[in-house]
Amino acid sequence: MEGVLRFKNTLTRRVEPFEPIEPGTVGLYTCGPTVYNYVHIGNLRTFLFEDVLRRTLKLFGHEVTQVMNLTDVDDKTIRGANEAGLSLREYTDRYIEAFFEDLDTLRVERAEHYPRATDYIPQMVELVGRLEERGHTYRSEGSIYYRIATFPEYGKLSGIRPEANLAGARIDADEYEKEDARDFVLWKAPREGEPVWDTELGPGRPGWHIECSAMSMALLGESFDIHTGGVDNIFPHHENEIAQSEGATGKPFVRYWLHAEHLVVEGEKMAKSKGNFFTLRDLLERGHDPVAIRYLLISVPYRQKLNFTFDGLHAAEQAVERYANTLRRLEHAPDAADGDLPAGEVRELRAAFRGALADDLNTARALGVLHTLLRRVNTALDGGGIGREARQELDAALAEVDAVLAIGPHRENTAPGVDAAEIERLIAERAAARKARDFARADAIRDELRERGIVLEDTPHGTVWHAER
Ligand code: AMP
Ligand code: ZN
């Protein structure tokens, strides 16, 4: 089973073997952040699940085209920009920049595309136009709504049937005139203090749900392989995306829907009012290691709730250290003539590691296998050492661990064709610029290095760098 990935599909409620529409290549759409603030560690749990998914797909030989949207026009970004007295673009630019910094800090691989909603208004307008032509919409007071009664399959993802929502408190029907409380808005009429686009639909701005349908289909096609998000996205967001996309094209929209359960803090929902609300920056300020944060956030399989505790973070810090120590020991150990670690055993553990990932990304089991491997390595190094064949197997196994989990020690400051001294100089210049609050210069340095394939990580012990693989 090692070669075939299996995923639990929210749509079918079953664990299914993964088969892409086009063999070897995968279209992956991951709902991105609303860029009105710093993302919190709950959001990051979901983004890290998506990173492990992407890396696992690649490990199993798939080429991945990942899209992550940046929601830069919605109620929250508009309110934030107005309060800050900035244009929507200026306001959201800041948080987009911060978001990418957080991704780098947590070693999240970059997606192929990060479309901003405001750059895809023509595609949204076109999609609403198609829905109008096919009789799925109605207009009321300058806004355009999706008439759910025209899409009999509505509810197939979430299992929430429309009838059940008629009196539902979660459907916000007060702002606009809808015929039916369960209908949702596609295009919003202009309102005081809101940005307006003049389009063939009339003036207004897009609703949130149409953004993801339009951007995913523009970049991945009308039918694609995998769509993900947190469980809160299942209803109504993803249910509405299906109604919009399939309503417009008449084709199946997405084959596999994967949803991450939420992160809770010390057993409670994370909320600003409870004081248990954390951004990545909050944790770094308290001196925690980003690699340990990554470890903790990926340590629980994505379909289970993750209970964030400081005890858990402490344990993650120890696990990461143990891994780094073992790698360091290995680096300095000469090959033994014979050794105490049979190569076959390493091969089996490597297969078990892949098997755990293939089993709907069971990261807890994968980490368990890693720790068994580390224990065996340490015992062998305490005893008769490790022979050449076992060492080769080990290098291959650890390369796979690193490729998917990326929880190894901060990389050595060397890379082919790179002048380490110059990079250190630029890092020092960036630190000075940040101290002087010259964030434009600091960001320019980060961008310049990134263009050269050098990624910076801000850690409690200063900034470190590594070459992008
Ligand atoms: P948002 O910026 O609110 O659209 O959220 C971005 C992503 O984070 C979405 O995929 C959400 O489902 C996800 N998310 C929000 N809250 C949590 C949480 N507490 N735990 C895990 N994921 C979350
Ligand atoms: Zn979305």
What's the pLDDT at 20? 98
Dihedral class, residue 85 (left if φ above 0, else alpha if ψ from -120 to 50, else beta): left
Distance in angstroms (rounded) separating the CA atoms of residues 194 and 255:
36
Ligand 1: distance of its center to the CA of 141 in Å?
Answer: 32
Residues 294 and 48: beta-carbon distance below 8 Å: yes
Residue range 387-415: mean pLDDT, rounded:
89
pLDDT at position 460 over 80 = no
Residue range 286-307: mean pLDDT, rounded:
97
pTM of the model: 0.88
Pick from 175-189, 198-212, 246-260: least confident: 175-189
pLDDT grade for 169, boundaries at 50, 70 and 90: very low
Residues 115 and 69: beta-carbon distance below 8 Å: yes
What's the pLDDT at 85? 97
Residues 73 and 118: beta-carbon distance below 8 Å: yes
3-state secondary structure at position 387: strand
Task: Give the atom of ligand 1 at the shortest distance from the alpha carbon of 30.
Answer: 10
pLDDT grade for 469, boundaries at 50, 70 and 90: low
pLDDT at position 177 over 70 = no
What residues have CB less than 8 Å from 40, skipping those under 6 apart?
270, 277, 278, 279
pLDDT at position 2 over 60 = no
| 233 CB within 6 A, ligand 1 | yes
| 116 CB within 6 A, ligand 1 | no
Place of tokens 């492990």: 52
| 9 CB within 6 A, ligand 1 | no
Task: Give the atom of ligand 1 at the shortest distance from the alpha carbon of 43.
Answer: 8
pLDDT at position 417 over 80 = no
pLDDT grade for 168, boundaries at 50, 70 and 90: very low
What's the pLDDT at 241? 98
What's the pLDDT at 173? 44
pLDDT at position 40 over 50 = yes
| 69 CB within 6 A, ligand 1 | no
Residues 24 and 65: beta-carbon distance below 8 Å: no
What's the pLDDT at 269? 87
Ligand 1: distance of its center to the CA of 80 in Å?
Answer: 19
- The predicted-structure confidence for 424-435, as pLDDT tens digits, reads as follows 888 889 988 988
Residue nearest to atom 11 of ligand 1 (CA): 230
Residues 152 and 136: beta-carbon distance below 8 Å: no
Pick from 66-80, 159-173, 262-276: least confident: 159-173
Separation of first and last alpha carbons in the chain = 28
Task: Give the atom of ligand 1 at the shortest distance from the alpha carbon of 31.
Answer: 10
| 232 CB within 6 A, ligand 1 | yes
What's the pLDDT at 410? 77
| 455 CB within 6 A, ligand 1 | no
3-state secondary structure at position 36: coil
Average pLDDT, the chain: 92
> Which residue out of 38, 46, 106 has the highest number of ligand 1 atoms within 8 Å of its CB and is therefore the one to mutate?
46
- The predicted-structure confidence for 302-344, as pLDDT tens digits, reads as follows 999 999 999 999 999 999 999 999 999 999 899 999 899 999 9
| 30 CB within 6 A, ligand 1 | no
What's the pLDDT at 141? 93
Beta strands 202-206 and 184-188 are antiparallel
> Which residue out of 43, 208, 237 has the highest number of ligand 1 atoms within 8 Å of its CB and is therefore the one to mutate?
43
Percent of the chain at pLDDT exceeding 70:
94
What's the pLDDT at 400? 97
Residues 298 and 52: beta-carbon distance below 8 Å: yes
Residue range 245-253: mean pLDDT, rounded:
98
Task: Give the atom of ligand 1 at the shortest distance from the alpha carbon of 231.
Answer: 12
Ligand 2: distance of its center to the CA of 186 in Å?
Answer: 14
Ligand 2: distance of its center to the CA of 148 in Å?
Answer: 19
In the numeric block, which tokens belong to residue 44?
């990051």
Residue range 396-420: mean pLDDT, rounded:
83
Distance in angstroms (rounded) separating the CA atoms of residues 255 and 250:
14
Residue nearest to atom 5 of ligand 1 (CA): 33
Residue range 252-267: mean pLDDT, rounded:
97
| 42 CB within 6 A, ligand 1 | yes
Residues 341 and 333: beta-carbon distance below 8 Å: no
- What's the residue count for the chain? 469
Which helix H or strand E contains 297, and what residues bound it?
Answer: helix 290-298
pLDDT grade for 414, boundaries at 50, 70 and 90: low
| 264 CB within 6 A, ligand 1 | no
What's the pLDDT at 164? 52
Residue range 146-157: mean pLDDT, rounded:
96
What's the pLDDT at 151? 97
Identify the CA nearest to 195 among candidates 74, 331, 53. 74
Which helix H or strand E contains 257, and what residues bound it?
Answer: strand 254-260
Choose from 119-133, 406-420, 421-435 the range with maximum mean pLDDT. 119-133
What's the pLDDT at 412? 54
| 31 CB within 6 A, ligand 1 | yes
What's the pLDDT at 351? 98
Residue range 148-155: mean pLDDT, rounded:
96
| 33 CB within 6 A, ligand 1 | yes
Ligand 1: distance of its center to the CA of 260 in Å?
Answer: 9
Closest ligand to C-alpha of residue 95 is 1
Ligand 1: distance of its center to the CA of 112 in Å?
Answer: 21
- The predicted-structure confidence for 80-125, as pLDDT tens digits, reads as follows 999 999 999 999 999 999 999 999 999 999 999 999 999 999 999 9
What's the pLDDT at 171? 47
